[in-house]
Structure 1
């Protein structure tokens, strides 16, 4: 059941002819599946929580979707194999470790693990 005020959806750009490559990237790297709504929109349903970063990195002016991984190194390899560009290599932060990557459309995301 949806609740008023609950973060429910995140929409990321995939313009300039990148929609098919973005879908292929997430399917290969994270096994995501998609529902197409016409030729210019594709939806995914992969879970969502959120947070605010009170100390963002310099130049971080956009929301940062963060994915979880049980095996950070294996996920880093999958992202590279799928054609993702590593923006920040694995680093530690309070609560775990993570890395940042850019997808084929240039969207920056992070992947984190508790270990």
Structure 2
């Protein structure tokens, strides 16, 4: 059930749909439902959302919000991100509450992964 006045969906720009879906499926186990060639909904990601084709990308240097993904095995997830073609933009570091790293997906979008 959707909670009133809560964030419940994200839409993320991507340059190419197929490599994006492969990356997030391989690294994080996300699943997808396609709505035509230019939009794919991701499920099984903690929050639902969609990837849409765009020539834009986002990163913190542009003032974009940071999408943070939780992992129980931070170093393993970092290795999987690199194996799948992601680029580590900030190595693992500590912050109040845990540790995290930042990466750019194949589209150049910046995400973070954290663990306790």
Q: TM-score range by the shorter chain?
A: 0.7 to 0.9
Return the TM-score normalized by structure 2: 0.84
Report the counterpart of residue 78 of structure 1 in structure 2: 80
Q: 2:32 aligns with which of 21, 24, 34?
A: 34
- After TM superposition, give the deviation of residue 3 of structure 1 in Å: 2.4
Return the TM-score normalized by structure 1: 0.85
Alignment size in residue pairs: 103
Secondary structure of 1:13's counterpart equals strand
Instruction: State the Cα RMSD in Å.
Output: 1.2
2:64 maps to 1:62: yes
**Higher strand residue share:** 2
- After TM superposition, give the deviation of residue 110 of structure 1 in Å: 0.2
Cα distance in 2 for residues equivalent to 1:31 and 1:20:
15
Cα distance in 2 for residues equivalent to 1:99 and 1:89:
5
Gaps in structure 1 of 5+ consecutive residues: 49-57
List structure 1 segments (4+ residues) > 4 angstroms apart after TM superposition. none
